[in-house]
Structure 1
Amino acid sequence: MATYNSIGATYADTRRPDPRIAARIHQALGGATTVINVGAGTGSYEPSHTVLAVEPSSVMIAQRPAGSAPALEASAESIPVAEDSADAAMAILTVHHWNDLEAGIGELLRIARQRIVVLTFDPDINHKFWLLEEYLPEAAAFDNTRAVAVDRLAMLLGGARIETVPIPHDCTDGFLAAFWRRPEAYLDPEVRAGISLFAQTSDAVIQPGLARLSDDLSSGRWHQRHADLFGRDALDAGYRLLVADL
């Protein structure tokens, strides 16, 4: 919670839900008529039939739009609602922040009647993203300490369908790999403020890599090295949607 109370202040500006990713999440929720969003943040990707948002950070809750589902300030590991409280539970880009993954997944299984939908990332693929591999390998090493293997997550869910979620080149949700074709964005402090990897890694680790990126952009080296990216509309940066039927 402390992390997001300190870094979440710009989320409503830099982490606007992308409609294409939203469509994938809402499709995965299937016929659920009631949904609980766990690790809900500012409410990104919540369908209209969300009945409750669970979020530990008061800063994030304060940025939820008017008319959003009621929010409960609580952690994923201990959700004070009854068993089978909703048709579905969803957890969007949050499981890698949980202190106790097993307890959090246990709570999703307890509160959902029919389905659980989790958007996460495969660290084996995500950490090969050019920003991490070429400029911030030390930050990627830190990220490995909290990343969750997709196979492990599927196992904890009791089995899950795993779907690839390609990231569009103009993604409006400013998570880590959203700017894969817009590298200049990573030099913007406001953009970085909405990406937990930057906020949780010291400047001493981050700044040398960003200086190299700035130099490579100025010289044209980055564009020469990654010219192939400009022929793509979307990139598989390791983001995965897990859908578990109960």
Structure 2
Amino acid sequence: MATYNRIGATYARTRRPDPRIAARIHRALGDATTVVNVGAGTGSYEPSETVWAVEPSTVMIAQRPAGAAPALQASAEAIPLADDSADAVMALLTVHHWDDLETGIAELRRVARRRIVLLTFDPAVSRRFWLLDEYLPEAATIDDTHAVAIDRLVTLLGGARIETVPVPHDCTDGFLAAFWRRPEAYLDRQVRSGISLFAQISDDVIQPGLARLDDDLASGRWADRHAGLLQLETLDVGYRLLITDV
């Protein structure tokens, strides 16, 4: 919760849901007529069927739009809802922030009648993202301490179908790898303010790498090294949907 109380003030501006990713998430929810969103933040990607949002940060809850599902200030590890409260439970880009992953997943299984949908990232893939690999390896090392292996999640869920979620080059949701074809965005402090990794790392750690990126953009070295990326419309940078029927 502390991380999102720090970075949450600008979250609604920098983390606007991308409609292509939204379509993947809503398709994964299937025909659920009631949905609980855990780690809900400002309500990104919530379908109209959402009946409760569970979010620990008051800063995030305050930015939920008018008409959004009612929010319960609570953590994933202690969801204040009865067993089998909704057809589906979704938890998007949140499990790596939980204090007790096993308890949190058990809570999702308790509340969901039929399906659980997680959006997360595969650290084995995301660790190779050029920003982390070439410019912020120290930050990547810190991030590794929070990352959750896909195999571990699948085991805790009791099995899951895994779908790759490619990121569009013009993604409107400013998560960590959203700007894979727009590298200059990482030099913008407001963009970084909506990315949890940067909130966990001091400027002393990230500024040398960002200075190298700035130099490489100015000289054309980044474009030369990553010319192939500039031809792509989407990229697999590790984001995954895990879908479990309970």
TM-score normalized with structure 2 length: 1.00
Aligned equivalent of 1:154? 154
Percent identity reads 78
Query: Which residue of the partner structure matches residue 35 of structure 2?
Result: 35
Aligned Cα RMSD in Å?
0.4
The whole-number CA distance in structure 2 between the counterparts of 1:142 and 1:115 is 32
Which residue of structure 1 lines up, in the alignment, with residue 125 of structure 2? 125
> What amino acid sits opposite 2:193 in the alignment?
A
Structure 1 gaps of 5+ residues are none
- Counterpart CA distance in 1 for 2:171 and 2:94 is 18
Secondary structure of the corresponding residue to residue 147 of structure 1:
coil
Shift of 1:2: 1.1
Report the counterpart of residue 204 of structure 1 in structure 2: 204
Q: Within 2, Cα distance between the matches of 1:178 and 1:3?
A: 20
Matched, 1:236 2:233: no
Structure 2: distance between partners of 1:208 and 1:56? 33
1:192 CA drift (Å):
0.1
| Corresponding residue number in structure 2 for 1:57 | 57
Answering whether residue 163 of structure 2 is matched by residue 163 of structure 1, we say yes
Tell me which amino acid in the other structure corresponds to 1:29.
L
Please state how far the C-alpha of 1:144 moved relative to its aligned partner: 0.4
Match of 2:16 in 1: 16
Q: Structure 2 CA distance, aligned partners of 1:134 and 1:95?
A: 26
Runs (4+) of structure 1 exceeding 3 A deviation are none
Mapped partners of 1:92, 1:63: distance in 2: 17
Matches of 1:186 and 1:134 in 2, distance apart? 13
Deviation at 1:236, TM superposition (A): 0.2
How far has the Cα of 1:199 moved from its partner? 0.8
Give the corresponding residue for 1:178: 178
CA–CA distance in structure 2, aligned partners of residues 164 and 213 of structure 1 = 28
Distance 1:132 1:48 in 2: 36
Flag structure 2 segments of 5+ consecutive residues without an equivalent. none
Aligned mates of 2:3, 2:167 — CA distance in 1: 25
Shift of 1:8: 0.8
What amino acid is aligned across from residue 76 of structure 1 in structure 2? A
Aligned partner of residue 244 in structure 2, secondary structure: strand
CA distance in 1 between partners of 2:34 and 2:194 (Å)? 29
Distance 1:230 1:213 in 2: 16
Which whole-Å CA distance do the structure 2 matches of 1:3 and 1:216 have between them?
30
| TM-score normalized with structure 1 length | 1.00
1:166-197 per-residue CA deviation (whole Å, 9 max, x = no partner) reads 00000000000000000000000000000000
CA distance in 1, matches of 2:238, 2:81: 32
Read off the aligned partner of 1:154 and give its amino acid letter: V
Inter-partner Cα distance in structure 2 for 1:80 and 1:103: 14
Q: 1 CA distance for matches of 2:31 and 2:66?
A: 25
Aligned amino acid, residue 77 of structure 1? E
Q: CA offset at residue 3 of structure 1? A: 1.0
Question: Per-residue CA shift, 1:45-102, capped at 9, x if unaligned?
Answer: 0000100000000000000011000000000000111000000000000000000000
